[in-house]
Amino acid sequence: MRKVAIITGAGSGLGQATAVRLAQEDVNIVVVDVSEKGGNETVEMVKKIGVDAIFIKADVSKKEEVKNYVDQTVEHFGKIDYFFNNAGISGSGKFFLETTTDEIDQIVGINLMGALYGMRYVAEVMLKNGGGAIVNTASSAGVIGQDSVVTYAATKHGIVGMTKSMVAEYAKNGLRVNAIAPGPTETPMVKSFYEANPAMKENATRGIPQKRLGTPEEVAELVTFLLTSKAEYINGEVIRIDGGFTNTK
């Protein structure tokens, strides 16, 4: 029987690339995104590979919508084996005292509360079935300090703490939880952030020892490895994938 993976933020970027990569490993995919267009596009891409896929529209900052995507997954597939807890936004790129409290609420709601809600409802299902594997999307801004992303960094540091603490509580019950910390990567979210803040792209690229941004496909390879049985003894880790960016900080 095929494994089943839920991927949030799967309508583009890291989520979409990971959906395609997991489908190549014969995994059925639940595509969760706020964008119907992007979500349905990912479903089509995955189905062409030969596995089953469904799209569930959800705003992950709303706990009832998170519970709904979990419930619908169980109703359709009967189980959850893998969870890429990935949905997130970057914010405006303004310095903290220039941001609005509405922006703070939005970033925290999607990046941190959305991840916590997802963890809460997905892990509950996994533990009833003997365990599962989860990868949370943190960021280079979750392992070092960076300017212009104070709220974003706060949420990503929170993801790191959530990851490690879930392992402390539930590894003995068969749960594996790891996090990835991508540096600047060529995703739609990052592209729009740099379009609004062009000088920051030049600064970021200059600060990466490999002198280029990462690709969604490179991140997808890491996520796929961490979710599958090949990584069974890796637990509670935060793995940087940033071309050496945070190594120089």
Q: What share of the chain is helix, strand, coil (3-state, %, to 5)?
A: 55, 15, 30
Give the count of alpha carbons within 13 A of 42, CB side only. 34
Question: Is 194 in the active site?
Answer: no
- Confidence at residue 59, expressed as pLDDT on a 0 to 100 scale: 98
Mean pLDDT along residues 89-110:
96
- Confidence at residue 64, expressed as pLDDT on a 0 to 100 scale: 98
Name residue, tokens 């490179």. Answer: 218
The string of pLDDT tens digits covering residues 14-48 is: 999 999 999 999 999 999 999 999 999 999 999 99
Mean pLDDT along residues 123-147:
97
For residue 49, pLDDT over 80 is answered with yes
Torsion angle in degrees (nearest 10) through CA of 139, 143, 148, 151: 80
HEC profile for 162-189? HHHHHHHHHHHHCEEEEEEEECCECCHH
Helix (H) or strand (E) holding 55: strand 53-57
State the catalytic residue, choosing from 82, 117, 121, 152.
152
- Confidence at residue 181, expressed as pLDDT on a 0 to 100 scale: 98
The string of pLDDT tens digits covering residues 164-191 is: 999 999 999 999 999 999 998 988 777 7
Under CATH, what is the fold of the domain 4-241? Rossmann fold (3.40.50)
Widest CA span of the chain, in angstroms? 52
Looking at residue 151, its amino acid is T
- Confidence at residue 225, expressed as pLDDT on a 0 to 100 scale: 98
pTM of the model: 0.95
Listed residue (9, 246, 5) closest to 137, CA to CA: 9
Strand order across the 28-33 sheet: 53-57, 28-33, 4-8, 82-85, 132-137, 175-182, 238-241
- Confidence at residue 196, expressed as pLDDT on a 0 to 100 scale: 74
